[in-house]
Amino acid sequence: MTIKRDALELLAEMYNYKIEGKTFDLDEIMEALNFTTIRLENAYNYLLGHKLLTEQVRLIGTTLKGLPHILGLEITSKGIDAIEEEDVFKQNFGSLKIEINQNGHVNVINTDDSQSTNNISTPILSNSSYINAGNLNNSNIINHNIIDNAKRYNISKREISFIKNLSINLINRFGEKKLKVIAIISFIVSVITYISGIATTIPEVFHPPQWLPKISIDWMPYIMLLPTLLLGLGVFLVTIVKYKYESRCTNCKEFYALEEVGDADVKEVEAYEGVHQTITRTYKCNKCGNIEQRGWKVFIKKSSRNS
């Protein structure tokens, strides 16, 4: 049986022992890191959903969220170790201990006397071995429904034909470069105007540079409307240009080729601080027929969700 590579052994080889002559392909490393991260997130979400996390493990999980996979390698490894030490996790998935010998081999030892057949698996390489590991299931953690306390439902696809038509027409007429320049100028002028307004309103607190234009207090309500409009214009132009690249097919490289098909899938995982929401949309290329999925992750705090 082919077993996926896990970042724990890569960690041992790359950081602890640095085996000479061993090279690591980037895709190989990323696959191992992704797989290890899935193990951590599944275990983390299970314990989080049942409010069984210690403060130490919750901190590890929170820290991991914003880190790139390469930087989060050691935190991922430590996070898995910490979670697998939780009593409730042991009761459900057995108790495993990972040992790395001097040759860089990874031994996974089952310390559970009950010889549970519902153990969590630790993916290994061919030079790794299980000692008294019992009956392990490599897909146990990833596919076991009880671990995933997520709520799933569908929402309608977005109506963006207006943005698409504007993007095509404006870029064809004025050019992408001009729109970007106008957007940048709008942002700069809006910021300068806002600062001038603040300096005029509370001069004793904020002292602007001498070159900054002064605004009459009588014109303040009208002048402050200008940066708001300019800021809106800049955001609008950025959105127009951004859509051009978001609608590009990764297969045939054509712009404005991707169109959303079907309803979007929404996955919500309730956490201690709020809700982690993942929206997955499916797109089809109207040129080559290529189908691809894209996901967006949003964190909704409990306070903002309840308000």
Percent of the chain with pLDDT strictly greater than 90: 20
Clarify whether residues 280 and 172 are in a common domain. yes
Q: Are residues 189 and 225 in the same domain?
A: yes
pLDDT at 247 (0 to 100): 93
Q: Within its chain, how far is the Cα of 24 from the centroid?
A: 24
pLDDT at 258 over 90: yes
- With a cut of 60, say whether residue 207 has pLDDT above it: yes
* pLDDT of residue 158 exceeding 90: no
Three-class SS state of 299:
strand
Residue 156 lies in a domain: no
What pLDDT is stored for residue 284 in this prediction? Answer: 93
pLDDT score, position 196: 75
Cβ-in-10-Å burial (0-12, 13-18, 19+) of 73 comes to buried
Residue 146 has pLDDT above 70, yes or no: no
- Indicate whether 70 and 206 sit together in one domain: no
Is 173 domain-assigned?
yes
Contacts of 101 (CB under 8 A, 6+ apart): 107
Same-domain pairing of 123 and 189: no
Rank 33-42, 75-84, 114-123, 261-270 by mean pLDDT and report only the highest.
261-270
Beta bridge partners of 221: none
Question: Is residue 154 in a domain?
Answer: no
Do residue 144 and residue 84 come from a single domain? Answer: yes
The pTM assigned to this predicted structure is 0.46
> Are residues 177 and 93 part of one domain?
no
Task: Report how many domains make up the chain.
Answer: 2
Which of these three, 127, 149, 171, is where a domain ends? 149
pLDDT band at residue 68 under the 50/70/90 scheme: very low
93 inside domain: yes
Per-chain mean pLDDT for the chain: 66
User: Is residue 2 assigned to a domain?
Assistant: no
* pLDDT band at residue 113 using 50, 70 and 90 as cut-offs: very low
Per-residue model confidence (pLDDT) at position 190: 84
Instruction: Give the integer Cα–Cα distance in Å for 192 and 185.
Output: 11
Contact indicator for 152, 129 with CB cutoff of 8 Å? no
Query: Looking at the predicted structure, is the pLDDT value of residue 19 above 80?
Result: no
277 and 195 assigned to the same domain: yes
User: 167 and 117 in one domain?
Assistant: no
Residues 177 and 124 in one domain: no
**Do 141 and 243 belong together in one domain?**
no
Reading the block at residue 145, the tokens are 């429904």
Could you tell me the residue range of the domain that residue 181 belongs to? 161-306
Which of 93, 124, 149 is a domain's end point?
149
- Looking at the structure, tell me whether residues 166 and 57 fall in a common domain: no
